A and B are shown apart, each in its own frame.
Chain A
């Protein structure tokens, strides 16, 4: 003890602080690396179990059965006039016996509604519904006179300045016990509904409150008539980084968490939810910047508070393709928004952290989100600054520093490559080996180019959260799926 005190005195305040910081970062980094290794293992087990089971699944049994549960597909749209008809047609062709498409026209200022009225022979109907979740006023509900479009229900509402508000309006009029939330410009696999409902109806002991599936970048895929006919990794570097990130996040991350029933979030791009629990939990928060994760957290909170033994499941198959940002500017806005949403969420639900009342969610999900999602960018940024200071002071051991850098670099490449391998286990997604190998090379640059900008954008999001800066709804210059540039206002 005396020796320790002596050493501490010798180092002085700053020296001790530096030592404490180094030890902290070491423990933090080691824990994170162990967690990733664990997730890789758990996701492998989850995927293997899924694949084995899936060999004998006859989805066609559900198609003609009167016992199949109904699903409402909620698709909010704002100024999607250039592609709305094609997108709705694509949704109407989903392969499922009992479903409805609830398209929510969120006060579009273009001619989206007019186009739909003309194309789908819509008429205004007296539609009775009760407001279970608050949303902006619904101006009118439309149904088609043509029986071919009987599954389509179009809501015209006052713009609520968020996808959350539009989805809440959709939940209020949804007829079935489960709803799938998606974006109208997402491309869904034909069997999406069959595959998403299965974990719900095959769960023996728990109530499955949400199911998610893998999302991918649609940027370079071949798309015909609203169907992805050939998957390709994005040609541009930024979307390709995102493709790799999605594979890692969904295949390795969420599948691993799913194995422990600790899924922190079901993506807003595609997710199936238990309507009753979603309503009782209060629906989407229109003020949140991360409304999907926020809803999931509240649903879990509700389940714990009301002693509902719940489960959230993920499936490793890619069921949804979405166009990811292809410019740094749009990407920055998206990630800033996500980071701000995470900060909001952690602040709003801080009481759940390490709270025994919330079981795994309080002990695993919330601490993980806090330590390894929320503060990770801060740790990284301070680490880099500390590193640079030490270099300037000449106190860096170059050999050791290089070894450690090499270790972290190779470890991150390994984790991402493993997630690509797991993805290939599920399905040989890309046609040629060359395309997969191209994807495998991406992690080598991801660490050096993509990750640092992600850190900066996250910190920007936290800054906006702390200062309460107003976030505007961005105009995303989408390239569209028919090779025509399409300008759309979307939440980025």
Chain B
């Protein structure tokens, strides 16, 4: 039978009273009591964690505010303003005052990491001899060993961190170590390995395109595009090779973008063959690529396949005709503009008509004068230089 807590206190000392009281409570209330303790402790723990986090964060900020200016001063004095550079002494013969960098402040793990981060950051900003001297410093301080050690870590995030440092410092990593990682199941690791491979492999930087099984996500493509287009001394292959042979659609799609960027006209025939591909997204990408390459030989083919294409491909064909701009298919564009029932088709046909240099102002005026109110509006829209799309 239930008794209140006071009645237990009359019989037992307080601790025993509490225990007996608890034991005799219904199960639900016992559970509630346990959870009261848990909730109380968890709340205290949360407060503690918040305080510790803030304390650690604040301490880190304070340490950084001391270390970073010191590193910056050292790098400015001994690297950027290095007298050897102005005297054109070869980089490997410049004596760096390593002891200056081996001060106690930079000996701790935190200090070393800060030093690596700053050197990497400076290396990104400086090319040429300063960049080379920064690399020399990184090597002579044996910071590359710290980065290589990270690459051997079982933790993916440490591996990625090491790889980024080595890549940014132009350190060579053997293909054997990187190539397997380009197909890693971990997305971040995979992406970074691909970046590193392109940047560091001097012979065949695009070899991993042959073995990639996972799709290249749009994010990966953006990163790779940046790496490929900004890495110096990279030998750019003819991307038609992968357009023709790769079974990975994302690789083909990415290569089409690279073909456009590098204006690889000799890849156009391979791109033309993609017009027979069953995947309409890939076909649309190929049409877009041909348009941007201004590949005149594609015009007739594009017009001939137009009627069998889905909407996205049809719109790309209309855009491509405007870009290629031979004026050979003005009648086709006019017909699509006047007779299509789809708004986007009419708008893109109008845009391409206006873009085409061979089209006389008389034709545009005639279309405006004889067109429906909506078609007039479309034409005025496309002719207005303030409107981009």
Contacts and interface: CB of A to CB of B under 8 A. Distances in A.
Interface stretch (A11-19, A239-247, A297-305, A397-405): A397-405
A417 B43 contact: yes
Contacts of B217: 201-204
Given A67-B257, A126-B384, A175-B389, A414 B219 contact: no
A126 B377 contact: yes
Contacts of B344: 130
Contacts, number: 138
B299 interface: no
B75 to A, nearest CB: 22
Contacts of B49: 421
A404 B29 contact: yes
Interface string A373-403: 0000000000000000000000001011001
B231 to A, nearest CB: 13
Contacts of A397: 2
Interface stretch (A57-65, A163-171, A326-334): A57-65
B89 interface: no
Contacts of B237: none
Interface in A65-79: 65-69
DSSP majority for the B interface?
Answer: helix
Interface stretch (A143-151, A351-359, A360-368): A143-151
B47 A201 contact: no
Interface residues of A, number: 52
Contact of A414 (B2, B39, B380): B39
Contacts of B126: none
Contact of A126 (B28, B39, B381): B381
Nearest to A131: B343
Contacts of A69: 218
B204 interface: no
Contacts of B343: 128, 130
Contacts of B387: 125, 127, 143
A53 B187 CA distance: 9
B161 A436 contact: no
A410 interface: yes
A486 interface: no
Contacts of B43: 410, 413-414, 417
A406 B29 CA distance: 11
A413 B347 contact: no
B134 interface: no
Given A413-B39, A417-B47, A433-B51, A56 B164 contact: yes
Interface in B351-381: 374, 377-378, 380-381
Contacts of B164: 56
Contacts of B32: 403-404, 407
Interface stretch (B63-71, B98-106, B222-230): B222-230
Nearest to B30: A403
B340 interface: no
User: Would you list the 4 A-B pairs with minimal beta carbon distance, nearest first?
Assistant: A201-B218, A126-B380, A128-B381, A175-B389
Interface of A: 26, 52-53, 55-56, 58, 61-62, 64-69, 123, 125-128, 130, 143-145, 150, 175, 198, 201-204, 397, 399-400, 403-404, 406-407, 410-411, 413-414, 417-418, 420-421, 424-425, 428, 433, 436-437, 440
Given A65-B225, A204-B187, A440-B46, 7 more contacts: A65-B226, A123-B386, A127-B381, A410-B43, A417-B46, A428-B54, A433-B51
